[in-house]
Homo-oligomer: A and B are copies of this chain.
Amino acid sequence: MMQQKVDIFDSTLRDGAQAEGISFSVEDKLKIVKALDNLGVAYIEAGNPGSNPKDIEFFNRMQGVTLKNAKLVAFGSTRRRDISAKDDKNVMSLLSANTPVVAIFGKSWDFHVTNVIKTTLEENLRMISETIAFMKEKGKEVIFDAEHFFDGYKSNREYAMKALSAAVEGGADCLVLCDTNGGCFPSEVYEIVKTVKEAFGDVQIGIHTHNDGGMAVANSIMAVEAGATHVQGTYIGFGERCGNANLSTIIPNLQLKKNIMCIPQEQLVNLTFTARKIAEIANITLSEREPYVGNSAFAHKGGMHIDGVCKASSSFEHIDPSLVGNKRRFLISEVAGRNTILDKIREINPCISKGSREAEEIVNRLKELEHQGYQFEGAESTFELVIRKQLGKYKPFFELETFKLMTEQPSQTGPSASALIKVKVDGRSEITAAEGNGPVHALDRALRKALEVFYPELSHVHLTDFKVRVIDSNKTTAAKVRVLIESTDGESVWTTVGVSTDIIEASWIALVDSIEYKLLKELEKKIKVYL
């Protein structure tokens, strides 16, 4: 019998902060709390005030803040051995975080009690029950994280269960079974959670998994199938080592496919947006392949797949992407069909039909470019420009008269490269120069410096990604390279591509497209007023 609701407990700000390369400022943390609260998770575990002074500042800043959906959680350990809870500095700073909920972690693996914290098995049980009882006296909702529960259970089942009993005795509101080192298998998680659920029938059971075996999501799902109603994880999965259970996958898995409420129904469409927002705040790249919320999650490349999706979307899509705020994409590639291309053409000129001469010419032009090494799947702006050029719906915003790049070693000036550029706009020339780390950097700077004279709106544009791929790399330094550029003006993001045997020329082509595309979109905005 499946439950109708589970509590989602997000630890992006606590366990997530343990991930390599993650470092949150207090401002970052406040923004992430807001994003998760808007989405409607039940709990936000936001820090460990006992171990981290930055977290104390954060909890102070949170005092005046009212959350719409979530309860704020502070995380800390059971008291140290052989003292009382009120004399334990960490326990007291946990209290000072002034959150409605605390998560207390304690040992449930006998080996760890004797070999890591080095105390007796009995004292560890007292540490658990007394710390929890102390927190309950202070009016807290208490979640008990049974660290290494599964390993403990497999090594000494009786003791692991006693640790849970001690937590219940102390008054814990929820017993969370942790696969701390992330190595458990789904079938054993199911069996163990089921046994615990049967033994502690009236206490809420939670699950906390890690992804060291690549199965954190499945282990969480299996725990829910076995009776857990509280699921811990981090929203986009980052955490110590291989990460935590990915909540942006678990939520739609449960809510869309098992009809188990995790967040308010109307918030499901914000799953993708929230993932991208948190990735941006954390300053990491969200994997393209992330289930549900990744950029490629509903991207179709094989011609057969595209054909299948057009005939019946359930062919190659497990859900309708719009349910989670994501979208279907047909990738433009040598194996993609004509229909995809036609859809794109029609966005620019709706009157062009499948068999028309214009459509044929565009397809031929695209094939020719693909043969040269172009790939449009990551460069939709260049794709649009190619179609516009072919349709005659395009006029360049500037002309290049010349550029000259110089690099030398040893370098005479500081930066190693310098660029001179001369461009022409409406008959008026502008010549200027810039330096950079390497020729492409110098060229990018010089080009924008020259064009800003005519188009001040370019001052907001900057590049956010720059990728180089060598094609047929066995031809070595004379091989073709494909340069992919991602640009932004702070509002939208667009990508362009250039191919050449010369990396400078390939970069130049992509840079020009980036600027032309931006100016085109600005013009479209202005024209709209007159339509």
Contacts and interface: CB of A to CB of B under 8 A. Distances in A.
A242 B302 CA distance: 14
A452 interface: no
Interface in A473-502: 473-474, 476-479, 481, 500-502
Given A290-B242, A477-B466, A501-B441, A214 B249 contact: yes
A396 interface: no
A242 B111 contact: no
Given A51-B303, A290-B242, A312 B21 contact: no
* Size class of the A contact interface (CB-based, 8 Å): 35 or more
B466 A246 contact: no
A500 B438 contact: yes
A371 to B, nearest CB: 12
Interface string A310-342: 011011111100000000000101010000000
B213 A217 contact: yes
A111 to B, nearest CB: 7
Contact of A438 (B242, B296, B503): B503
A439 B470 contact: no
A468 B289 CA distance: 23
B406 A406 contact: yes
Each complex incorporates copies of this chain amounting to 2
A304 to B, nearest CB: 7
A243 interface: yes
A478 B436 contact: yes
17 contacts: A181-B315, A181-B317, A182-B318, A213-B217, A213-B249, A214-B249, A242-B297, A283-B469, A403-B408, A405-B406, A406-B406, A417-B502, A441-B502, A444-B477, A462-B476, A463-B476, A503-B503
Given A241-B298, A243-B289, 11 more contacts: A20-B331, A51-B303, A183-B257, A183-B319, A214-B217, A214-B250, A218-B218, A403-B409, A405-B406, A436-B478, A439-B504
